[in-house]
Amino acid sequence: MISSLKDMERIAGIVAECAMSGWVIGLKGDLGSGKTTFTKFLARYLAIQDTVNSPTFTILKVYQGEIPLYHMDVYRLEDIGYDYELDEYIYNEGISVVEWYPYIRQMLPESILSLDILRTSEDARKIIIEGSGDYETIVETIGHRYCDKSYIPQPRHR
């Protein structure tokens, strides 16, 4: 359960610590649930210096860091996702974060890390993290680290 921005930052930091080149992270949640906020915190822990904001109208924003971050908002691509050439980013050596990922699920690798962000109140969220393939054990690691309240994620260095 995420009850504050501090908690959202912490979970994003833990995911960033585990993240590796080539990862695909799918985010799902209603408007205002925290998908872009999660991505901003993730970028901070990946040592990305740029201001991260929603790529709603541009579909894709690329941020350079130790590992490039490809931030996609595919809300506008429901049923037309194949008209955009996102594969070169999704299947690249960076970390791809795809907001509204179910809209282009057929374009994504079979194995991804997915976060379903459910708004339970104005400030609280429930995040369901699932992983398939190589991500299965990562989900356990993220869960253990988050449940250990003494665990403090460390940002990467550039």
Reported in sequence order, the residue ranges of the chain that DSSP labels E, i.e. its strands, are: 24-28, 60-63, 69-73, 95-99, 113-119, 125-131
Return the pLDDT at 157: 77
pTM of the model: 0.94
pLDDT tens for 7-41 read 999 999 999 999 999 999 999 999 989 999 999 99
Return the pLDDT at 77: 79
All structural domains of the chain, each given as residue ranges with its CATH number in brackets, are 5-147 (3.40.50.300)
CB neighbour burial string for 105-141, b if at least 16 within 10 angstroms, e if fewer: eebbeeebbbbbbebeeeeebebebebeeebeebbee
**Percent of the chain's residues with pLDDT above 90:** 76
Return the pLDDT at 85: 80
CA-nearest of 22, 71, 62 to 42 is: 71
For residue 57, name the pLDDT band (cuts at 50, 70, 90). Answer: confident
pLDDT tens for 107-151 read 899 999 999 999 999 889 999 999 988 899 999 999 999 999 999
